[in-house]
């Protein structure tokens, strides 16, 4: 039996912070919480990313809820990827429960039911603020990675983006993208070949098939206007609480491609628009991804590379990313190696393979004289977890089996009428939920083809008339030069300026 007082001092010393922090719970010794041995996470390190892992039903989503609420309370805005639709309750206070009071008594912090400012967002036609982005904003590099095309095809995509840029043809949605592809091998073939090189129909056909695949996963809903301004994720309410933005993704489980596309787009946009952060002592935004294995599950190697590099880079913008998943091995090693906070809930040892995985997981935690990590991993109760964090100097804190606090907000979802009220209060819905289909590449190219056809018909009629008059007058062949410029040479102008993060993305995504 270890000395409780010595353990208490060990935890207090290890989790001491100078700046602001959030409290997760109390450290446990021999299976019991040591009251007031608080496990505190400095706000300053919350942009260092994290992982919440553990078997099903062990409390991962509630841990996510606790972190989100406590950040919001400190004025830090949060973005939650809610895969199972079980987080909307954050907008209502907890009804409380004797068990919760008991838990908090053991921890040594008072339990205060509280609700938090919530905005509901959606990637599809579900209720909430519509999240959309234009094809132009993605830029050719990112689009190529998302579609998983070959080098040659990626080259073609770059040419088409350049052509559209040069000719002021906005690429807003997938309809525009498909149109320019088709145009490049049909009506616009000669024009594009002259300036930019020939595009083979086989390659453009292959790209088209990839676009259709993305469309089938709902990509057509995501690409288009009005494109979401990531600054709207940074709102703080009138009481100084950070908004908790919940993206409802219950309908995306079987569409992993759309999800990884969306995540990558969001991260790239955040990276390119947020200013570089100095040492502000707190994160600007914290993003939680529940059921995170879904992003990695079907991602191509190129896409994984992209996600890994952006995870690394985004930290400097004051953005923390937290992955929530059952098994740590669901997250690529390159991402795992960058994580500052690890909250490991219980793992279950049913099979030999499970036992091996537990041993491996245990080895990835700091050694502690107070715990046999592999044994603790299988004996943790619900709402308990092994925590390892970084202190303000960036040094790992002592490993702490932790009795976690309970969420201040409701652990259950909102009722329908509560959700309706919440959506009614939204200031962003009116800004983003109008369907826009302004003049873009699709319409402009159709117009261009139409003009070309008309000119061609006129030219034909003129020639026929000439031929008729020639044969009637018997004069020699007309040497008159063609005066009408080919419509394809005309530069089409549109009032639209393509809002492009292309340059930056190209740089960071190399």
Ligand X SMILES: Nc1ncnc2c1ncn2[C@@H]1O[C@H](COP(=O)(O)OP(=O)(O)OP(=O)(O)O)[C@@H](O)[C@H]1O
By CB under 6 A, name the binding residues for ligand X. Answer: 54, 56-62, 382-383, 404, 406, 411
C-alpha 233/C-alpha 292 separation (Å) is: 20
Closer CB to Mg ion, 58 or 402, in the complex: 58
- Classified as helix, coil or strand, 510 is coil
Q: Which stretch binds Mg ion (CB under 5 A): 53-61, 160-168, 228-236, 390-398?
A: 53-61
Give the length of the chain. Answer: 510
In order, the DSSP letters of 407-441 are: PSB-SSPPPHHHHHHHHHH-SSHHHH-S-B--S-H
| Residue 58 binding: pick among Mg ion, ligand X, none (C-beta 5-8 Å cut-off by kind) | ligand X
Q: Closer CB to ligand X, residue 84 or residue 458?
A: 84
Tell me which residue of 233, 216, 188, 241 sits closest to 74, measured CA to CA. 241
Cβ 57 to Mg ion, closest distance in Å?
A: 8
- We find the least distance from the C-beta atom of residue 57 to ligand X, in angstroms, to be 5
Least spacing, CB of residue 86 vs ligand X, in Å: 6
Part of the chain binding Mg ion (CB under 5 A), chosen from 36-44, 60-68, 211-219, 347-355: 60-68
Collapse the DSSP code of 308 into the 3-class scheme (helix H, G, I; strand E, B; otherwise coil) and give the result.
Answer: helix
Q: Angle at which helices 135-147 and 151-166 pack, to 10 degrees?
A: 170
Tell me the C-alpha distance between 130 and 434, whole Å.
Answer: 9
Which pair of tokens denotes residue 31? 């299976």
| Minimum distance, C-beta of residue 293 to ligand X, in the bound complex (Å) | 11
Residue in 167, 163, 122, 118 with CA at minimum distance from that of residue 140? 163
Closest CA to 287 of 233, 222, 343, 231: 233
128: left (phi over 0), alpha (psi -120 to 50) or beta: left
Residue closer to ligand X by CB (options 62, 257) is 62
Q: Which does 54 bind (CB under 5 to 8 A by kind): Mg ion, ligand X, none?
A: ligand X
- Residue 387 CB, nearest approach to ligand X (Å): 12
Question: Min. distance of Cβ 22 from ligand X in angstroms?
Answer: 14
User: Could you tell me which residues come within 8 angstroms of residue 344 by beta carbon, excluding any fewer than 6 positions away?
Assistant: 51, 53, 54, 328, 361, 365, 377, 385, 386, 387
Shortest Cβ 383–Mg ion spacing (Å) = 12
Query: Could you give the 3-state DSSP secondary structure of residue 343?
Result: strand
Question: Nearest CA to 403 among 124, 39, 131, 144?
Answer: 39
CB closer to ligand X out of 86 and 127? 86
Which lies closer to ligand X via its Cβ, residue 24 or residue 147?
Answer: 24
Which of Mg ion, ligand X, none lies near 436, with the C-beta cut-off 5 to 8 A by kind? none
Based on the shown chain and the rule CB under 5 A, indicate whether residue 65 belongs to the binding site for Mg ion.
no
Task: Name the binder of 95 from Mg ion, ligand X, none, CB < 5-8 A by kind.
Answer: none
Q: Which of 2, 325, 303, 18 is nearest to 146 (CA)?
A: 303
Per the listing, tokens 């099979």 go with 351
Least spacing, CB of residue 56 vs ligand X, in Å:
4
Q: Are 116 and 244 in contact (CB under 8 A)?
A: yes
Partner in contact with 394, chosen from ligand X, Mg ion, none, beta carbon below 5 to 8 Å by kind: none
Count of positions on this chain that bind Mg ion (CB under 5 A) = 1
Q: Are 14 and 21 in contact (CB under 8 A)?
A: no
Please give the Cα distance from 344 to 24 (Å, whole number): 13
Q: State which residue, 82 or 191, has the beta carbon closest to Mg ion.
A: 82
Of 64, 68, 82, residue with least CA distance to 122: 82
Reduce the secondary structure of 35-70 to three states and give it as a string: EEEEEEEEHHHCCCCEEEECCCCCCHHHHHHHHHHH
382 or 461, CB closer to Mg ion?
382
The entry of Mg ion, ligand X, none that residue 56 binds, CB within 5 to 8 Å by partner kind: ligand X
Nearer to Mg ion, 382 or 436 (CB): 382
Is the peptide bond preceding residue 39 cis, with omega within 30 degrees of 0?
no
Taking the C-alpha atoms of residue 370 and residue 367, their distance in angstroms, rounded to an integer, is 9
Phi and psi based region of residue 383 (left: phi greater than 0; alpha: psi -120 to 50; beta: remaining): left
409 binds, among ligand X, Mg ion, none (CB under 5 to 8 A by kind): none
Given the complex with Mg ion, which of 61 and 122 has the nearer CB atom? 61
Compare residues 227 and 402 and give the one whose CB is closer to ligand X.
402
User: Shortest distance, CB of residue 66 to ligand X, whole angstroms?
Assistant: 6
Binding partner of residue 383 among ligand X, Mg ion, none, CB cut-off 5 to 8 Å per kind: ligand X
Q: Which stretch binds Mg ion (CB under 5 A): 54-62, 69-77, 205-213, 248-256?
A: 54-62
Q: Which partner in Mg ion, ligand X, none is near 134 (CB below 5 to 8 A by kind)?
A: none
Smallest separation (angstroms) from Mg ion to the CB of 22: 20
Query: CB of 417: closest distance to ligand X in angstroms?
Result: 22
Using CB distances below 5 to 8 A depending on partner kind, what does residue 268 bind out of ligand X, Mg ion, none? none
Give me the least distance between CB of 101 and ligand X, in Å please: 11
Return the residue nearest Mg ion (CB atom). 61
**Cβ-based nearer residue to Mg ion, 145 or 345:** 345
Residues 295-334: x where in contact with Mg ion by CB under 5 A, - otherwise, as a string: ----------------------------------------
Considering the complex, state which of residue 37 and residue 199 has its C-beta at the smaller distance from ligand X.
Answer: 37
Alpha helices in 474-495 (DSSP H): none
- Tell whether residue 61 is a contact of Mg ion (CB under 5 A): yes
Positions touching Mg ion (CB under 5 A) are: 61
């Amino acid at each position: 039996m270890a000395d409780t007082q010595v353990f208490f001092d060990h935890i207090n010393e290890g989790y001491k912070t100078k700046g602001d922090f959030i409290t997760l719970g109390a450290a446990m010794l021999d299976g019991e919480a040591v009251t007031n041995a608080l496990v505190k996470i400095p706000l300053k390190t919350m942009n260092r990313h994290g992982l919440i892992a553990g078997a099903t039903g062990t409390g991962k989503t509630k841990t996510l809820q606790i972190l989100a609420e406590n950040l919001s309370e400190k004025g830090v805005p949060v973005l939650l990827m809610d895969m199972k639709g079980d987080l909307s309750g954050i907008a209502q206070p907890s009804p409380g429960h004797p068990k919760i009071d008991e838990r908090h008594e053991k921890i040594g912090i008072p339990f205060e039911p509280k609700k938090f400012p919530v905005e509901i967002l959606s990637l599809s036609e579900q209720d909430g603020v519509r999240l959309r982005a234009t094809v132009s904003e993605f830029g050719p590099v990112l689009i190529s990675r998302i579609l998983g095309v070959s080098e040659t095809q990626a080259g073609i995509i770059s040419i088409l983006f350049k052509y559209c840029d040069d000719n002021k043809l906005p690429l807003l949605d997938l309809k525009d993208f498909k149109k320019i592809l088709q145009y490049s091998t049909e009506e616009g073939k000669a024009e594009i070949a002259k300036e930019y090189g020939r595009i083979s129909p086989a390659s453009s056909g292959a790209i088209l098939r990839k676009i259709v695949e993305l469309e089938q996963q709902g990509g057509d809903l995501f690409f288009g206007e009005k494109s979401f301004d990531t600054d709207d994720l940074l709102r703080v309410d009138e009481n100084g609480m950070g908004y908790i933005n919940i993206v409802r993704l219950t309908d995306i489980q079987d569409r992993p491609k759309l999800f990884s596309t969306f995540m990558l787009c969001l991260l790239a946009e955040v990276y390119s628009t947020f200013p570089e952060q100095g040492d502000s002592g707190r994160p600007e935004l914290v993003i939680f991804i529940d059921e995170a294995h879904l992003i990695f599950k079907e991602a191509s190697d190129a896409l994984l590379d992209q996600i890994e590099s952006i995870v690394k880079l985004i930290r400097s913008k004051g953005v923390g990313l937290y992955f929530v998943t059952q098994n740590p091995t669901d997250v690529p090693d390159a991402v795992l190696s960058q994580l500052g906070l690890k909250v490991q809930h219980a793992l279950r040892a049913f099979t030999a393979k499970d036992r091996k995985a537990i041993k491996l997981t245990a080895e990835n935690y700091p050694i502690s004289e107070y715990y046999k990590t592999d044994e603790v991993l299988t004996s943790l109760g619900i709402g308990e977890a092994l925590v390892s964090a970084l202190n303000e100097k960036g040094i790992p804190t002592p490993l702490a089996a932790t009795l976690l606090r309970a969420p201040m907000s409701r652990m259950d979802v909102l009722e329908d009428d509560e959700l309706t009220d919440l959506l009614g209060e939204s200031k962003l819905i009116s800004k983003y939920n109008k369907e826009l289909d302004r003049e873009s590449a699709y319409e402009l190219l159709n117009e261009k083809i139409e003009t070309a056809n008309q000119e061609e018909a006129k030219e034909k009629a003129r020639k026929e008339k000439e031929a008729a008059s020639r044969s009637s007058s018997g004069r020699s062949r007309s040497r008159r030069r063609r005066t009408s410029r080919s419509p394809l040479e005309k530069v089409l102008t549109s009032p639209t300026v393509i809002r492009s993060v292309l340059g930056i993305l190209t740089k960071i995504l190399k």
